[in-house]
Amino acid sequence: MSTITKKKGHEPLFHLTKRSSFPGWAAWIVRLLAIAVGFIVCGLVAYILIEDNKKKPQDLMEFFEKFFTSFYNGSFKLNPSASRRYNRIWEFFRDTAILQCIALAVTPAFRMRFWNIGAEGQTLMGALAAIGAAFYLGGTVPEWVLLLIMLAVALIVSSIWAVIPALFKAQWNTNETLFTLMMNYVAIYVVDFFLKIWVPTDSSLDALPHGALPVIENNYLFIILVAAALTVFTFIYLRYTKHGYEISVVGESVRTAQYSGIHVKKVIIRTMLVSGLICGLTGFLFAGKDNTITTTSIGGQGFTAIIVSWMGYFNPLMMLFSSALVTILNRGKISTDFGVKGAYEDVFVGIVLFFVIACEFFIQYKISMRKFHTATKEKEAVK
């Protein structure tokens, strides 16, 4: 047990102690409660902030019902048409899968305490490369060959984009947070540049006729299966391989890693290469799903993935839950159902995540009030 507050002199009102044993099931109850409270606070905030309009129920209970239904409908509502009955559920799993993929991409670097916040740009570059391949080669080679080429160039370009900051970090100890962040903006302008070449007089690239992802059962399952396989792979890679162990050691302490004979520079570059490859695969999924690209194709998910990875304690299996939670929040239909700006939806994502992160604090630490503490001290004094 390590105490944070100092015991000298005046006794503080409360102090924090790190919990040594908090049962897993209890932690999950706390988390679920935090999510529930977060949603309720969202509802209250929405009730107060959303100006009166015809779509807003006046009664608080009715408002809450509509508010929560909106989130439920976004991900789980069954469609009336038989052919699209389960589409929203499929889309929910597909969106979760894509977010999970990007979160998996940043995780190895995070475990190494290499703050890669460039997943947005790395994924975008992969998607750009894949779309480029489809643009130039579509129709001239068999479809499966085209898909393989798209995948290959996406992997190559994304990993180059990820390894550049790693090289600078390893060689000159540059700040990787700023470097990877800036690379996002460079990527956006590279996409702009190529769009100007591909579509000189229009403002966007029409969906390309070639290079769509293979259809397994439906348009969603392929992406979901890829994400599932990638989750298992990353879990094993981080947990049970020498590489994974080296990443953890470098993350704990660079010095320790050096003394134990780990080539730190090599680990940094290799790990970012893994991150880049996963981003490349995800970029390929984006390209095959959309068959077009814009500067906003990734839609900020490269940044959302950071918080998903953190909330999952950098554990690929735990991250499945955080990906799913964020996806439910993102798929909420608040702006449509209440006729308000899209910014409201972002606010609600923020509020719920705030509660989830805050609850982790209470799972990790115990708060002891002064009274309790002095009592134990007196006991010690008696002894």
Query: Which residues make up the interface to another protein (CB under 8 A)?
Result: 54-55, 79-81, 84, 87-88, 91, 196, 200-207, 289-292, 294, 296-297, 299, 335-336, 339, 341-343
Contact 121/188 with Cβ under 8 angstroms?
yes
Smallest distance, Å, CB 207 to another protein? 4
Maximum Cα interatomic distance, the chain, rounded to a whole number of Å: 88
Q: Which is nearer to another protein, 184 or 292 (CB)?
A: 292
Please, what is the minimum distance in Å from the beta carbon of residue 297 to another protein? 6
Q: How far is the CB of 328 from another protein (least distance, A)?
A: 16
254-270: string of b/e by CB count within 10 Å (b at 16+)? Answer: beebeeeebebeebbbb
Write down the least CB distance from residue 87 to another protein, Å: 7
Backbone torsions φ then ψ of 177, nearest 5 degrees: -65, -50
Closer residue to another protein in complex, CB, 270/289: 289
Distance in angstroms (rounded) separating the CA atoms of residues 246 and 257:
8
DSSP secondary structure string for all residues of 86-108:
THHHHHHHHHHHHHHHHHHHHHH
- CB 296, min distance to another protein, A: 6
* Least separation in angstroms between CB 67 and another protein: 17
Residue closer to another protein, measured from CB, 59 or 380: 59
Any idea what DSSP says for residue 179?
Answer: H
Report the residue number, 170 or 285, with the smaller CB distance to another protein.
285
CA 206 – CA 195 distance, rounded (Å): 11
Distance CA 345, CA 339 (A): 12
Residue 368 has φ and ψ, to the nearest 5°, of -110, 130
Cα 206 from chain centroid?
28
Number of H helices, E strands in the chain: 15, 2
Closest CA to 355 of 110, 111, 140, 40: 40
Question: Is the CB of residue 100 less than 8 Å from the CB of residue 173?
Answer: no
> How distant, in Å, are the alpha carbons of 241, 274, 312 from that of 237?
5, 10, 16
Closest CA to 305 of 139, 133, 121: 121
Q: 102 vs 164, which CB is nearer to another protein?
A: 102
Nearest residue (CB) to another protein, 2 versus 81: 81
Q: How many CB atoms lie within 10 A of CB 242?
A: 8
Nearer to another protein, 20 or 203 (CB): 203
Neighbours of 200 (CB within 10 A): 7
Nearest to another protein of 214, 299 (CB atom): 299
> Which residues have C-beta within 8 Å of that of residue 190, sequence separation ≥ 6?
125, 128
Q: Which two tokens stand for residue 163?
A: 């390894």
Cβ-contact 346, 331 below 8 angstroms: no
Between 120 and 246, CB nearer to another protein: 120
Closest distance of CB 46 from another protein, Å: 16
User: Smallest gap, in angstroms, from Cβ of residue 234 to another protein?
Assistant: 26
Minimum CB distance to another protein smaller for 162 or for 305: 305
| Nearest approach, Cβ of residue 167 and another protein (Å) | 32
CB of 200 vs another protein, minimal distance in Å: 7
